[in-house]
Amino acid sequence: MAIAMVIIAQYHMEVNLFGETICKSEEEPVCPICQTKLKFRDWRRRISIKEGRDVTWIMIRRLYCKKCRRLHNELPDILSPYKHYEAETIEGVVDGIVLPDDADSEMYPCAATMNRWKQWIAHNTPFIEGFLRMIGYSIMELGKEYLMTGEKIFDSLRKRLPPERKSWLGYINRIIYNSGASLEPFPKVEAP
């Protein structure tokens, strides 16, 4: 079974006396399945790789839902479920800002990894677009005229995300995973 996750946007990182980086959550997440307030269970180490292959292990909270009896990893939105690289790096590649050609092999993920990310987003794009349209229609009450335009909501979100929300992948992850849905891995199941 896939690991259940909640993605948080309000947090800060602290380094403790042992040199460990701790993700200090400022949120009190609810279970994406039953909306019960989650309880702290324990800490878990999670890898985080920045552009430049700079590896940090971050301590994240593992939360427990006493109703569903399930554990949920609390992931800061700089990270993406099942991906080791930070969302910002993945976005840079998907948006074509980081190209395999200009990538120094010492500094960037390999071309195969970059291609996988592009394929992963391309594979999930119809689902993400449908999800955003559903939210636009049912929650934000956007008119039919808006939703019937040819413009893809996902594309415009990628271009016009407000500056305080720098990461479109973090934003997408948050609305999808916190609703109890998930993106599909591509091409197959990846390591958590």
* Contacts to Zn ion by CB under 5 A: 31, 33-34, 36, 65, 67-68
| Beta strands 70-76; 11-15: pairing state | unpaired
Q: Which residues pair with 72 in a beta bridge?
A: 4, 63
The least distance separating Zn ion from the CB of residue 37, rounded to whole angstroms, comes to 10
The nearer residue to Zn ion, 70 or 123, going by C-beta atoms, is 70
Of 65 and 87, the one with the shorter C-beta distance to Zn ion is 65
Residue 42 C-beta: closest distance to Zn ion, Å: 18
From the CB of 66, what's the least distance to Zn ion, in Å? 8
Query: Which is nearer to Zn ion, 29 or 81 (by Cβ)?
Result: 29
Q: Where are the alpha helices (DSSP H) in 139-189?
A: 144-147, 153-160, 168-177
Cβ distance to Zn ion smaller for residue 33 or 147: 33
Measured CA to CA in angstroms, residue 190 lies from 46, 82, 84, 184, 186 at distances of 15, 7, 10, 10, 8
Q: Least distance to Zn ion from the beta carbon of 30, Å?
A: 8
Of all residues in the shown chain, the one whose CB is closest to Zn ion is 31
Nearer to Zn ion, 33 or 111 (CB): 33
Rounded Cα–Cα distance for residues 91 and 79 (Å):
11
Residue 181 contacts residue 131 (beta carbons within 8 Å) = yes
CB of 185 to Zn ion, least distance (A): 23
